[in-house]
């Protein structure tokens, strides 16, 4: 097995298997437990500090990517993300709107909760 840089490993071996940008964001957000990320495989290979730093960076990057992606593309994306969760698209977005903070990284990297909420609300309106 070839040792990849940790970020490449995370993208190629984990996130590549998760459909949709919102799906990836949701997955990474779920790795955070009590304020710390938990990923056994990355920790085992790269160490706790490297895993924490990398997953936090990826989480922030995915969050900002959602904010920067045109709504037209996000409509397609949310369809893939919801299907992977075996969920109706509207139900999926309503769940996100109920607790948007659960998807947000600790460091918003210049993004904001208000912007994220407005993107999700706009998607929900477009899909109604």
HEC readout, the chain: CCCCCHHHHHHHHHHHHCCCHHHHHHHHHHCEECCEECCHHHHHHHCHHHHHHHHHHHHHHHHHHHHHCCHHHHHHHHHHHHHHCCCCHHHHHHHHHHCHHHHCCCCCCCCCHHHHHHHHHHHHHHHC
State pLDDT tens for residues 41-77. 999 999 999 999 999 999 999 999 999 999 999 999 9
State pLDDT tens for residues 2-15. 689 999 999 999 99
CA geometry: angle at 32 spanning 40 and 60, to 5°? 110
Distance, CA of 82 to CA of 98 (rounded, Å): 16
Domain-wise residue ranges, the chain = 6-127
pLDDT of res. 36: 97
Q: Tell me the whole-structure pTM to 2 decimals.
A: 0.91
Please give the average per-residue pLDDT across 75-89, as a whole number: 88
State pLDDT tens for residues 20-29. 999 999 999 9
């Amino acid at each position: 097995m070839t040792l990849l840089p940790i970020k490449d490993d995370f993208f190629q071996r984990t996130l590549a298997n998760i459909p949709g940008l919102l799906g990836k964001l949701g997955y990474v957000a779920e790795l955070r437990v009590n304020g710390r990320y938990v990923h056994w495989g990355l920790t085992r290979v790269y160490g706790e500090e490297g895993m924490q730093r990398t997953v936090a960076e990826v989480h922030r990057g995915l969050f900002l990517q959602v904010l920067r992606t045109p709504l037209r593309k996000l409509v397609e994306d949310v369809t893939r993300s919801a299907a992977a969760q075996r969920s109706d698209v509207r139900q999926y977005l309503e769940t996100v709107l109920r607790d948007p903070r659960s998807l947000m990284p600790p460091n918003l990297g210049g993004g904001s909760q208000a912007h994220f909420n407005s993107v999700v609300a706009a998607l929900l309106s477009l899909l109604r």
